[in-house]
Chains A and B, each alone.
Chain A
């Protein structure tokens, strides 16, 4: 049925429509039709709001009052100091544009890193993988990404190849004028191949820039992939992300999402098992204060038998911060011997903080092991007292316990340099020196 009432566009929705109308998409790498269709879907739905179940706790329509303009096309901006990052491979995007001078891309055999445009030309299957949304990943936010994102990194690891060092995709926002940045990345890891990729986000505090990224990850048979997301954006930023992953038989994917920054952030992740005996490990960490809001919404699709998924989400909230975790595991009728576990724990450091945990299991197979748990609480006074009784002052004892709480997720990061960077953010959040 057609709606008879014209939906009233919000200022942000109207601005986004206007930006799109002002963009020349004729020669677009993604294809003008794909982009236009995505914009139409966005315009029909508008920004998601609390009456849509999956957005109940993150009312984007209300929160996103404005949409800053697209970045100026002019001289490229300098990335600045990157010494805080691990040595090794990096693709540096400054305000949405690849800074080739600051980047150091791998040139190993079997490893191909190209721009989205180049990759779409070289790989006919890529467009198809990027266009259709996986179940649990579709949203107006993803549509916006499809409509606007014409750039990004495409990483392909050939069968049997190994990316010898982690590749960091650094999204840095610089300058004093806010802008809306859209990027689309893809990672394809071949059979028996290994790779670690880290997406990092950062920018100045107090500047309301918006970042919308989407990434598609394909993990080949028996492949081993770690995908880390470190969101340390400025205090007024919006960071909206879509992650889609498909895991092949016998493969292992470790997803880590750590969120420290942004006024509002949301990661919508969808992971599908398409081959048996595969493993997904997800570790999520949020450390928030002030009025920060961070949402991780995850959909795990056990489409085939004999796969294991483990999710551990840890949230530390101070002041009036709000953390949202929505995790849904679907076990399809054929997916016998599924082992699916989900645990979400929130540590509330103040009266005004709020943690919303929504674990969901939908099980259609009868021979499975699935479980979920959710806890919210304060720092354990018994543990605090024990530490103090050994001479550790209260504030230091609190920090130790918070670090310990967060550490369970941080320790899942195998690469030492990347683990150190995330641990460093956690320590900075606590205002303590890292005792290495």
Chain B
């Protein structure tokens, strides 16, 4: 599904490398968690995967379903089935949520040579996805994310994910700013998308989210690389001992 090999990346026009030889393989149907302290490069990894232009890949490769992901424009990545749930979803005044959802869904379908959805069919899919994520009709009537609370924005992200049915989901700090109820709703939404051929990467600082979205594999990221991988118990271990050991270990190495 996703193969990252020796990935080196930095912020464009800056010298300091943030990702320094990252390797990661996610197979179809698996849920991977990437944990790490602030500054370990988690955000850079998600931005590079989404195709943000402010980042520059200096070495290595990213294969998605065997194809070079880095060659694709952000919209092409989305149409190919890559979805990024952002840490800070933006507010877009003047763009109605429904207009946006329809444009996104139909643009992806068009890119895949599929027919555009009829309005009733589209409405049915939105209703299905929004009910699951507790996104109200009132929220759907507002401009995209405008006036939404932090929790509402995150629910809206996962609702989009449920609607667009991507093959690879990347959740960037989706738990940040969520209270326990919102966390549960979001986790339920993600869990419903688990399985089949879908790969899910959960990037998080805290173990809390992983109580609800139980990962198959946990990776520890430090200083721009994956420094340790293990089962779900690794997350619990980190919760107890913190990240200090990895920073030290990495420093010594």
Contacts and interface: CB of A to CB of B under 8 A. Distances in A.
Q: What range describes how many residues of A lie at the interface?
A: 20 to 34
Contacts of A394: 73, 75
A381 B160 CA distance: 21
Contact of A404 (B74, B75, B95, B105): B95
A389 interface: yes
B164 interface: yes
A404 B92 contact: yes
Interface stretch (A71-79, A207-215, A294-302, A395-403): A395-403
Given A396-B107, A401-B95, A390 B90 contact: no
Contacts of A387: 92, 95, 100, 103-104
A386 B104 contact: no
Interface in A381-436: 381-383, 385-394, 396-397, 400-401, 403-405, 407-408, 435
Contacts of B92: 383, 386-387, 401, 404
A389 B90 contact: no
Contact of B93 (A381, A396, A408, A435): A408
Contact of B78 (A391, A403, A405): A391
B95 A388 contact: no
Contacts of A391: 75, 78-79, 104-105, 107-108, 111, 164
B104 A404 contact: no
Contacts of A393: 73, 75, 107, 111
B102 interface: yes
B99 interface: yes
A433 to B, nearest CB: 11
A405 B105 CA distance: 22
Contacts of A403: 94-95
A387 to B, nearest CB: 7
A275 to B, nearest CB: 34
A389 B94 contact: no
A408 B50 contact: no
B78 A400 contact: no
Nearest to B78: A391
Contacts of A435: 99, 102-103
Contacts of B95: 387, 400-401, 403-404
A255 B231 CA distance: 65
B100 A390 contact: yes
A391 B77 CA distance: 7
Contacts of B78: 388-391
B3 to A, nearest CB: 21
B84 A404 contact: no
* Interface core residue of B53, B77, B104 (most chain A CB under 10 Å): B104
A404 B143 CA distance: 9
B208 interface: no
Nearest to B77: A389
B86 interface: yes
B21 to A, nearest CB: 26
Contacts of A381: 53
B164 to A, nearest CB: 7
Interface in A250-294: none
Nearest to B103: A392
A169 B2 CA distance: 62
B89 interface: yes
B63 to A, nearest CB: 19
Interface in B19-52: 50-52
A383 B95 CA distance: 11
A288 to B, nearest CB: 19
B38 to A, nearest CB: 21
A388 B103 CA distance: 11
A112 B23 CA distance: 79
Contacts of B51: 388-389
Contact of A392 (B90, B104, B143): B104
A389 B103 contact: no
Nearest to B101: A390
A403 B96 CA distance: 11
A381 B92 CA distance: 12
A427 to B, nearest CB: 13
Interface in B90-132: 90, 92-95, 99-100, 102-105, 107-108, 111
Nearest to B91: A383
B53 to A, nearest CB: 7
Nearest to A400: B95
Contacts of A397: 75
A383 B90 contact: yes
A400 B95 CA distance: 7
A390 to B, nearest CB: 4
A389 B86 CA distance: 10
Contacts of A383: 90, 92
Contact of A390 (B52, B73, B94, B160): B160
B73 to A, nearest CB: 7
Contacts of B104: 387, 390-392
Contacts of B89: 386
Contacts of B94: 401, 403-405, 407-408
A287 to B, nearest CB: 14
A389 B107 contact: no
Nearest to B104: A390
Contacts of B77: 389
A404 B91 CA distance: 12
Interface centre among A382, A389, A400, A403 (most CB of B within 10 A): A389
**Which residue, of A394, A400, A405, has the highest number of chain B Cβ atoms within 10 A?**
A400
B151 to A, nearest CB: 19
A428 to B, nearest CB: 18
Given A389-B75, A392-B107, A404-B92, 7 more contacts: A383-B92, A388-B73, A389-B77, A392-B75, A394-B73, A396-B103, A404-B93
Interface of A: 381-383, 385-394, 396-397, 400-401, 403-405, 407-408, 435
15 contacts: A389-B50, A389-B77, A389-B84, A390-B78, A390-B107, A391-B108, A392-B75, A392-B107, A393-B75, A393-B111, A396-B107, A400-B100, A400-B103, A401-B94, A403-B94
6 A-B pairs with least C-beta separation: A404-B94, A391-B78, A391-B108, A390-B104, A388-B74, A388-B75
